[in-house]
Amino acid sequence: MGHLQGKVAIVTGAGSGVGQGIALALAGEGASIAALGRTPEKLEATCALVAERGGRTEALSCDVADTDRAPGLVEEVADRLGGVDILVNNAYSGAYGPLLSMSDTDFRRGFDSGPFAAFAFMKACHPHLKRRGGGVVVNLVSSAMVRWDLRTYGAYAAAKTALRSLTRTAAGEWGPDNIRVNAIAPHATSPGYLRWEAANPEEAEAFRDSIPLRYVGDCEEDIGRAVVMLCGPDARYLTGATVPLDGGQANFD
């Protein structure tokens, strides 16, 4: 029996990549999974993988940027699965490119799907987490926040920096409710990364060489398992932190 047995986790952007890896890792420790995302077919694929491992799961199709839906979605999860103990804000749909070539709409999209969406889901989940005697929120940020050269990454880094600040604020305000809030900044073999690697093999090799452990993290075994740790009893005294899941790159950049 896993140490998350009886827990219920909401994972946004759970249809593929890091979100799917986190969902599978949490399910492997016994958590029931509410898989949220924009593409029903991808969510069903994640749910099928969870079911193969004997896990309980529900798929809810949504665009997290539509923040008005967050309270209703959280209530639906609580009704279907019996509560909410864990929230993982993974979904993000933003833009990359030079600032002068970016529209206001594209810039705003990263905030709508990032910190604004996370804020809406965190507020909606708070009463459920408190009612269950405490819970865990994990927000996904990025090492782009601390890159020296932010060319083409400015909008992305701005949204993720806002989410990091939100994480620390909630950790301070919600600690008395026994709700822990942390962030992770992962390097992972997501579909987007794999496409970039295939299109830029030399640059990708240089990137991997800059990681002391010399590889990019697996979505489930490296990133998902770290989230399991953050959600479990071994991390009960950790809150307000940003964990760089990047094979040591942040320490040697």
Residues assigned a catalytic role: 156
Phi-psi region of 152 (alpha: psi -120 to 50; beta: other; left: phi over 0): left
**Alpha carbons 177 and 21: distance in angstroms, whole number:** 28
Phi-psi region of 248 (alpha: psi -120 to 50; beta: other; left: phi over 0): left
**Could you tell me the strand order of the sheet in which 57-61 lies?**
57-61, 32-37, 8-12, 86-89, 135-140, 179-186, 242-245
Cα distances from 54 to residues 24, 45, 50, 218, 219, in angstroms, run 11, 14, 7, 22, 20
Phi, psi (degrees; rounded to nearest 5) at 49: -65, -40
Q: Is the dihedral of CA 233, 237, 241, 243 positive or negative?
A: negative
* Residue whose tokens read 């209703």: 72
How is the chain split among helix, strand and coil, in percent rounded to 5?
Answer: 55, 15, 30
